[in-house]
Structure 1
């Protein structure tokens, strides 16, 4: 299960910090875009719950597995590695867990970067903050891929 091909990201990459905490320093999401992203995360990923991140800076909203166990072989975010599949920061950027093929797509198309502590046991990539409705659609696609990786399940289609 890999995510659909992403379009290339337009414009220059945002500046990010080189160390922990790993933050996006330029090109934040407009507040209404971040609000839409948090609302989508809170309602469109069955069997999950949102809450304060266990690892990120204050204000980060995380998605946690709630009703499903972590899929066999999936490595999620520290500290537990089996519960938090991602979080959105106050600037709109996200840290999330993805399989290697999806990471490669994200990096190749300019949508994000690896976390400074990235390793086999720290499977964390940054998705740059969505700036527009079109970029919000990309964030949904990447979050959906993280969800499928974490749960081993397809997300049920949203009802109108």
Structure 2
């Protein structure tokens, strides 16, 4: 995974955690969502843990590890925030979550490892085509984790 260029966006440290600057263009957000919907076994609907308007990604058959999900009871492994924000939350294995954070693509949720899964991450919305490709790879790694498949390298 390459390093994300430029400064990190501003992110709230209150609940709900939101991206406050460098918002992804709506067209890229929609292309990302269409890609997410196409992943094997994914169903979409309102998020069970996020703000109104957030679109949840659910797997009904996947890992039995509750740490692989945002909301294990319903199989929600990721959600895309509304257009004014453009970021997303997802869960990654700890080593990949650390890599995403170290390379500037996201940051851990403030409750990760306490009230939430240790790999619960905010991933910043993509600003351009190259970033869209990287964010797709990060989401595919989260999908792989929730599916119970071997972790993908991003």
- Alpha-carbon distance change, 73 to 85 in structure 1, aligned in 2, over 3 angstroms: closer
**4+ residue stretches of structure 1 with deviation over 6 A?**
none
Show structure 2 runs of 5+ residues with no match. none
SS in 2 for 1:19: coil
Show structure 1 runs of 5+ residues with no match. 1-5, 155-160
2:57 alignment partner, one of 54, 59, 63: 63
Aligned pair count reads: 147
Preserved contact between residue 44 and residue 57 of structure 2 (Cα < 8 Å)? yes
**Length-normalised TM-score, structure 1:** 0.85
- Alpha-carbon distance change, 82 to 104 in structure 1, aligned in 2, over 3 angstroms: farther
**Length-normalised TM-score, structure 2:** 0.88
For residues 88-112 of structure 1, the C-alpha deviation after alignment (integer angstroms, 9 at most, x for no partner) is: 1112201001000101110110111
- Residue 88 of structure 1: aligned partner: 80
1:139 alignment partner, one of 127, 135, 138: 135
Q: Counterparts in 2 of 1:1-160, with a 5 A limit?
A: 6-43=1-38, 45-66=39-60, 68-72=61-65, 74-78=67-71, 80=72, 83-90=75-82, 91-123=85-117, 124-153=120-149
- Alpha-carbon distance change, 73 to 63 in structure 1, aligned in 2, over 3 angstroms: closer
